Structure 1
Amino acid sequence: MQIIRTDCLVIGAGLAGSAYALHAARAGLRVELLCLDAPLAANSDWAQGGIIYENSATPERLASDIITASDGTANPAAVEHLVREGPAALKALLLDELDVAFDRDAQGDLEFTREGGHSTRRIIHAKDTTGHAILGKVAARVERTPEITRRSGWVSIDLLTLSHNSRRPADRYAPLTCFGAYVLDVASGEVHAIIAKKTVLATGGLGQIFRHSTNQPGSVGHGIAMAYRVGARLIDLEYVQFHPTVFFKKNAPRFLITEAIRGEGAVLINARKQRFMEAAHPLGELAPRDIVSRAIHEELAASGEPCVYLDLSALAPEFIRDRFPAILARCAEYGVDITREPIPVVPAAHFSCGGVHTDLQGRTNVRHLNAIGETGCTGLHGANRLASTSLLECLTSAQFTALADAQEIAALGPTGFRLPEPSAWQAARRDADPTLIRQDLQLLRSTMWNYAGVVRSDKRLTRARRILLELREEIQSFYRDCRVTRELVELRNAVETALLVVRAASLNPISKGCHYVANGSEAEFTGRPANT
């Protein structure tokens, strides 16, 4: 087993992880940056609509919109932090330094659009591939930064802690402390240990534990499962946001249809070509995402139809071609010309509002373990995320966590960290059956979709927990006996994350935001037992 030593280990190379790596490197720290696949294989890359750039004198309106979308449950301190610090973080990195190609008008000024839940146009964009435009620039800068070693195809297996993985017996009495991770080099099949003063979870979301998802393959809550296994506090995992409009067609992949299309005037219609959102909410198609998703769910349940439709007839074909070229091309691949016909859509798991609990500098309750981006949870989103806040959260959480880590590493000095030799990795020799892995993952996703999806109930959650507990026993038995692979790591973390989501949902009987309980209460939020 090779041992690699560094200052910062960053698990995940989406916008949050890559931005953290840049800030840490500029502070003089050595960074190991792990990504599952190629540098742009992250949920950040698929973000379409845009990123908030509230550069006005009235940030209170943005704060109000975030809290309203959260159903009154967002953490006021986290909201205030994003509203105050976010625009400067965006301007410094994306506009001044990297000159990301955001759309501009004829005078060269930034173009702004509006999405659901926003009271004004405050979202800047790069056509309908904003995430790709941003992450492409950030990843290119990472590649040119010598203090950062980016390792593609390296998968984190488990975190290293003093109490679990140190060879020194007395360390098991130490406070919860992380000092790196066991990681798998997928290409070679070798397991290595990366020892770090700071370990940062930036693994993105958990959408792929559901049958329908907008997330990249492998987004099964890796960071959440790993953090849970070492005793980190988790919070708000019941609040999984389902995006209302995801492309739906038989034998075609699911992919996001940005909310910005509705912001520009598209409307939802049923199979009878009737609008239904006007009766569901005063904002109609621009209501918060949880409300739109439930309205679609109810429409489909009542009609028996497989999908609803997004009608773009109010938008000029020339405007569609110019503003949404990527969606136009992607839908055309599957026989839908969006300049002439509506887009078939269904809700799909999109964003985890909860995660590993952190403060505003990314710190968890485990010493030297941080979580940022979608993996972490400061309470910014509460029960429901306002559109286009996630990329801005990535930037701010990355910057402030990296600066805090750099300051702490400098203050503690070279002798301020216990970085022991880790226990050797015990490798099994038998290969796992790939058919069993695929079938188990399909069962897990179907269970979560059917019983812990857009609408939940006590009976559905009880059934989900029973199925998942039995499935976890099966998975653990062959995980112990088989050679570790990426697919096996993914399955192990998926079932752990799924159970955590179901448990959090079961503990909360109050319908709020993304978490809707069919037989639950809609009373005021007054607190609940801890999620873990």
Structure 2
Amino acid sequence: MTRQFDTIIIGSGLAGLSVALSLPDSQRIAMLCKDALINTASDKAQGGIAAVWDSQDSFERHINDTLVAGAGLCEKEAVAHIVEHSPDALKWLLAHQVNFTRNDTDQQLHLTLEGGHSWRRIAHASDKTGHVITHTLQSLLGQHPNIQVFEQRASVELLLDHEKNAQCMGVKALNRQSGHMETFLAPNTVLATGGTGQLFTHTTNPVIATGDGIAMAWHAGCRIANMEFIQFHPTALALPHIPTFLISEAVRGEGGILKRPDGSRFMPDYDQRAELAPRDIVARAIEAEMKKHGTNHVWLDISHKPRDEILHHFPMIHETCLSHELDICTSPIPVAPAAHYTCGGVLVNRAGQTDLKGLYCAGETAYTGLHGANRLASNSLLECIVTGRNIANNIEAGLPWETPAAYDNTIAINPATSDNGQPAQASPPNVNSLRQLMTHYFGIVRNHAGMQAALQQLNTWKAQLHPDNSVQAPSLNEIELKNMLDVASLMLQCGLARKESRGLHYTTDYPHTAETAIPTVLAPVLS
């Protein structure tokens, strides 16, 4: 089955929604959802959206906080552009009736503080900001008959018109309900498929976060950048036999203290900002304490705050923990790091344009230059809106296509080749084995021998995946496994290329930070 549209949006999180709701109603839009419409990473975001809103705050302060967190690898022009559009992004959400938490006294937006920020600038909807935003915006889709939502569609590959210099002309997707392949054609395609958390054993990401957009763009000829920088959220609930659940950064912003098993505080020993240090520093500190004391968690304690205050700020966290017989008002919370956010991705320019004409990219799938070596808390929802609206404006205006900037240090790689080396094991590939491999060799602390061993194992597994030349559509498991192997390989190759420790990438072989910060850019060599 073939369908024709003006714009195809792959993904229904905040990035995709920002594009869809910013395009004119004259546009025929298809929104493809791998699962149900609501199942997105954006829906799970607890903290909020960072914006310069308080009159005493400033763009300069927010920009500097972002640059400091990014450990020298942020693209300064991209940071300035996104931060300077933060008030407009927040106004756009308010215009769409997003119900943010407000102060009891003056009914102004309540702004909270999170790690790495030097000012209260996080607008939030209690502790379920992402759900409130995505639910509100998704409920508006029905008011736009030009937007057609296709749930249960797993995108498989981008379609290229080679007569027009490999211009993107749409996507081929698996209808998970019928089991048949479908073709969606449009002059504009937007990748907004989220991140890669499912490559790791413990993640705050939804089950759909398997790096599909990054893999598809790579195989279509797009450069990717900085895939070595995987942010592990420092504080995920660490109770046995329950799904990974995020404990918001805002808990520390509102006074939560990280403690050892004996109840002593440890973050001041690692950084003068203590619990409000950037996430890479806090995550490494927690892992170090866990190894030192032989535990699988540390404690995050907010119980010294008044109960009414805790329930007001963190009702969802309180309710979730209470369902597991843990009252955060009286007891500390067991927490441990979990894979959370992909700071790298598909290389784009300010307009969200990739190396492939007709293909845009936004949100966690994209590398805009905002996050550098470590994402500053709550900058991700902001990035989704600013880049998403830029894409919509570009499509509506029909502006000329401009590929992202060139990088002198770009590493050319043939996606079809494998390194020679002795594999760790020759057993058939499966998702669980891949997650264990990446967690062991590509976690918070790494080394080059381990990364090389992991890459050799990936290459062995990839060689075992035989190309399917039959007319039968691939299964969802086959699609995801192939994409995950490709994206894991990109992560490891980026990690091996970086001969230093910076931000989220810490390798014991090169523990020091180089004087010059250089992004890692990979370019596919397509036959």
TM over 0.5, shorter chain: yes
Q: Output one character per residue of 1:17-47: Cα deviation in whole Å (capped at 9) or x when no partner.
A: 0110111244x21110011222211000011
Distance 2:171 2:272 in 1: 49
Q: 1:290 to 1:127 in 2, by over 3 A?
A: same
TM-superposed CA distance for 1:476, in Å, is 4.0
Question: For 1:166-181, what aligned pairs fall within 5 Å after superposition?
Answer: 171=163, 174-181=164-171
| 1:70 and 2:60 are equivalent in the alignment | no
Partner of 1:418: none
Partner of 1:424: none
Contact 2:226 2:521 in 1 (8 A): no
Contact 1:472 1:495 in 2 (8 A): yes
TM-superposed CA distance for 1:483, in Å, is 3.9
Distance 2:75 2:154 in 1: 32
Distance 2:14 2:508 in 1: 36
Partner of 1:377: 367
What amino acid is aligned across from residue 30 of structure 2 in structure 1? Answer: E
TM-superposed CA distance for 1:481, in Å, is 9.2
Contact 1:71 1:383 in 2 (8 A): yes
Q: Secondary structure at the match of 1:443?
A: helix
Partner of 1:17: 16
| 1:43 and 2:80 are equivalent in the alignment | no
More helix by percentage: 1
| 1:308 and 2:298 are equivalent in the alignment | yes
Q: Output one character per residue of 1:316-359: Cα deviation in whole Å (capped at 9) or x when no partner.
A: 12211121110111111222111111111110111111100000
Distance 2:64 2:470 in 1: 49
Partner of 1:139: 138
| 1:386 and 2:376 are equivalent in the alignment | yes
Name segments (4+ residues, structure 1) moved above 6 Å. 478-482
Distance 2:466 2:223 in 1: 23
Among 481, 503, 514, the alignment partner of 1:523 is: 514
Partner of 2:261: 271
Q: Please, which moves more after superposition, 286-295 or 140-149?
A: 140-149
Partner of 1:156: 155
Question: For 1:73-222, what aligned pairs fall within 5 Å after superposition?
Answer: 73-91=73-91, 93-163=92-162, 171=163, 174-222=164-212
TM-superposed CA distance for 1:478, in Å, is 6.8
What amino acid is aligned across from residue 235 of structure 1 in structure 2? Answer: A
Q: 1:214 to 1:438 in 2, by over 3 A?
A: farther
Distance 1:359 1:528 in 2: 15
In structure 2, the gaps of 5 or more residues are: 402-426
What amino acid is aligned across from residue 31 of structure 2 in structure 1? Answer: L
What amino acid is aligned across from residue 276 of structure 1 in structure 2? Answer: F
TM-superposed CA distance for 1:220, in Å, is 1.2
Q: 1:529 to 1:62 in 2, by over 3 A?
A: closer
Distance 1:447 1:359 in 2: 33
Contact 1:25 1:148 in 2 (8 A): no
Please give the root-mean-square deviation of Cα atoms over the aligned residues, in Å: 1.9
| 1:472 and 2:462 are equivalent in the alignment | yes
Among 348, 351, 367, the alignment partner of 1:358 is: 348
TM-superposed CA distance for 1:238, in Å, is 0.7
Q: Output one character per residue of 1:245-280: Cα deviation in whole Å (capped at 9) or x when no partner.
A: 001111111110001000011111121212111100
Distance 1:481 1:456 in 2: 42
Distance 1:440 1:229 in 2: 21
Distance 2:516 2:245 in 1: 34
Distance 2:18 2:330 in 1: 40
Question: For 1:477-492, what aligned pairs fall within 5 Å after superposition?
Answer: 483-492=473-482
Q: 1:13 to 1:398 in 2, by over 3 A?
A: same
Q: 1:473 to 1:146 in 2, by over 3 A?
A: same
Partner of 2:490: 500
Distance 1:38 1:182 in 2: 18
Distance 1:468 1:176 in 2: 28
